[in-house]
Amino acid sequence: MDYYSIATVLIVISAVFGYINVRFLKLPSTIGLMLVTIVFTLAVLGLSYFDDTLLEKEKELILSIDFKTVLLDIMLSFLLFAGALHTNFQQLKIHKKPIIAFATLGTVVSTFLSGGVIYFLLQILGFDVAFIYCLLFGALISPTDPIAVLGIMKKVGAPKKLEIKIVGESLFNDGVGVVIFLTIYQIAKGGVDISAFEISKLFLIEVIGGLGLGLILGWLTFKLLKSIDDYDTEVILTLALVMGGTLLAQRLHVSAPLAMVTAGLLIGTEKVRKSSMSEVTELYLDKFWELIDVLLNAVLFVMIGMEILVLTFESTYLLAGFIAVPLLLLSRYISLLLPVKLYAKKLDFVPKTGLIMTWGGLRGGISIALALSLTQNMERELFLVITYIVVVFSILIQGLTVGKLIKKYTFKES
């Protein structure tokens, strides 16, 4: 299928499934979309025992999409910029130290803990998998995706100081997690010298380079916005920032996600907005990026639901996936303990912040995209099944129940 046909089919499916969710299920959009897509795909699989025409068409569609490239190289920059643009920068500054600790130290610790527990689990189940490949899995499963849970937190009136921690952690740990994964991936392939210096250099170039590029591009865009008063041109300038900035980051081999988060935060600050945009420009800019965010998320979660068709259904793979769910939740909880203990009293955290962030730290498309990028000798099929089970549990079970958890522990403050 050509690109236009693929995009058309995905958007039509997203629109139809979105309507079904809003009209009948009334679930948060991302959760509802993925649930409807999974049910539809399973129904198609059942129907295939009588007539496999629809199944073959759906397989043709999903196999035509390079999920990793579409998400990591294209969609992720748009999603992170849109998220950063609408993040309260003042609240982010107040909580910057724990957010940085969650996104860096927490992600690194989670990578090694998750990789370690999966390694021992697979050994017990009889899989002979090298530790470095389990570490790769730890890196791809550690980034969180709060898209689904943010709407729930707003509905239950979650305290801003809790919301900003989950938003801030996610914005930065997506970028950090991808960098950690790519670093370990090169080591696993034998692409770099496995020395602490080389690993640190590769990591720092990606991270610091991404942050620096984002600051430069954000500042240049701010200057351009400030020099004119024409809302349509100004919106196009931000679009050019994301598309051109992503391409430049890829050419410079620095982190595009971190660059877009940094640029989005800079453009979204109240000071920059008031000094460079009219009220009309602000309105159009916000509405444009909200629409981009909603559209891309709808397509993303439909694609996640359809990825079930590329899984290898083996009983031992499924068993490993189901056992991995509680082990990975425990690993995430432990990885958050130190930052929570360090800053809990100083910044007056809400009760059970670690527990809420553990259950509210949903895994999403990034984890699946990274799992799809593994090679066959890295146990791709096994880790893809485990990842998919973790992501589906995360979005459908954790996503639908985290609101109750937030209400239970923060009701008095909200």
pLDDT of 193 over the 70 cut? no
Distance CA 274, CA 135 (A): 45
Q: Give mean pLDDT, residues 86-98.
A: 87
Q: Residue 342: what are its φ and ψ, rounded to 5°?
A: -65, -40
Residue with tokens 């082990």: 327
Residues whose CB falls within 8 Å of the CB of residue 293, separated by 6 or more in sequence, listed in order: 78, 79, 82, 83
What is the residue extent of each domain of the chain? 67-410
What DSSP state is assigned to residue 48? T
Find how far residue 297's CA is from the centre of its chain. Answer: 10
What is the pLDDT confidence band of residue 290, given thresholds at 50, 70 and 90? very high
What CATH number should be reported for the domain whose range is 67-410?
1.20.1530.20
Q: What is the DSSP letter of 91?
A: H
* Tokens (6 digits) for 299: 């397509």
* pLDDT score, position 156: 65
Q: Are the C-beta atoms of 173 and 142 separated by less than 8 Å?
A: yes
The pLDDT value recorded for residue 414 is: 43
Residue 150 has pLDDT above 70, yes or no: no
pLDDT digit string (tens) for 332-346?
Answer: 999 999 999 988 877
pTM here is: 0.93
User: Would you place residue 147 in the very low, low, confident or very high pLDDT band (cuts 50, 70, 90)?
Assistant: low
| Of the listed ranges 82-96, 223-237, 251-265, the one predicted with least confidence | 82-96
